Amino acid sequence: MEAGVAPHPVFDSIRPWLDRLAVSDWPTLDALNALAEEAQVRTASGKPVRFVPPAPADPYYEVHLYDTGCVATRARNWHDFFNALVWLAYPRTKATINALHARQIPLEGGKRGRLRDLLTIFDEGGAIVRCADEELRRMIREFRWRELFWECRERVLRSMQIVVVGHAVLEKALAPWPGIACKAMFIGVEDDADACAARWLSAHGSPQELAALPVFGYPGWLAESSRAEFYGDTRYFRAFRSS
């Protein structure tokens, strides 16, 4: 693996597992599976999660995973590597996403519904925002980016933590830039992120219930965030638009 993955705060969500795999080359599937076995990672159906080489494409990937516990994982592939680490770090969340997919697929008649859109968006691009300050939460929902990240930056640093769990966003963060965004849910500061995310996903059904969040606006996550002008760039910090 390349050096330099772990230091950025965007990877804090999976840092304990990154640290255990801090080697000079890519970790093997055996190494990932040893960690999954140690942590007793299971699907909601009770199957041990195991990372395996991809087989011929299965049109019902989520159902196959639910039934077998097998997570197709390509060699030397960042996207699949981060997916595996999120399984290790947030097993209840990932198991819930998989179980809800597997439950919905037979009910959809080939037409994908809003719940599965929500699950996919969160799986690929989700974040959990730890914050008890309702005013800061409201600034996110209302796209008040300059006020949030610049005018209230000390309050944000003190009261808000962004936990990135979307494996596609983690892959993009290898080359961070201001346009990387997540879809976020909110929890309390002391809440268990994995348990809360699993409960939240079980209780909601539309992508619109997630909040858009340009995560690299968080103070200090990019060098540009030290300038007020950074938050005036509407390519990345857009105003709210009603649909």
Residue 159 sits in the same domain as residue 170: yes
Q: Which domain holds residue 162?
A: 122-232
Query: Does residue 2 fall inside a structural domain?
Result: no
The count of domains in the chain is 2
Query: Does residue 3 fall inside a structural domain?
Result: no
DSSP 194: H
Residue 151 sits in the same domain as residue 87: no
Q: Does pLDDT of 26 surpass 80? A: yes
Query: Does residue 69 fall inside a structural domain?
Result: yes
**Torsion angle, alpha carbons of 144, 145, 147, 153, to 10:** 140
Residue 177 sits in the same domain as residue 114: no
Give the C-alpha distances (Å, rounded to integers) separating 99 from 8, 67, 190, 199, 205.
32, 10, 26, 13, 14
Instruction: Give strand ranges (E) for the chain.
Output: 50-52, 70-72, 126-131, 160-164, 182-187, 211-213
| CA-wise closest residue to 173 among 4, 1, 38, 19 | 4
Residue 94 sits in the same domain as residue 161: no
On average, the pLDDT of the chain sits at 94
Percent pLDDT > 70 in the chain is 94
pTM comes to 0.94
- Of 119, 149, 172, the one marking the end of a domain is 119
Q: Report pLDDT digits (tens) over 48-61.
A: 999 999 987 666 89
- Amino acid of residue 191: D
Residue 133 sits in the same domain as residue 115: no
CA–CA separation, 55 and 73 (whole Å): 10
Residue 138 sits in the same domain as residue 224: yes
Residue 150 sits in the same domain as residue 93: no
Q: Report pLDDT digits (tens) over 165-191.
A: 999 999 999 999 999 999 999 999 999
- Of 100, 119, 138, the one marking the end of a domain is 119
Instruction: Count Cβ atoms within 10 A of the Cβ of residue 220 and give its class: 0-12 exposed, 13-18 middle, 19 or more buried.
Output: exposed
Minimum mean pLDDT range among 76-90, 103-117, 141-155 = 103-117
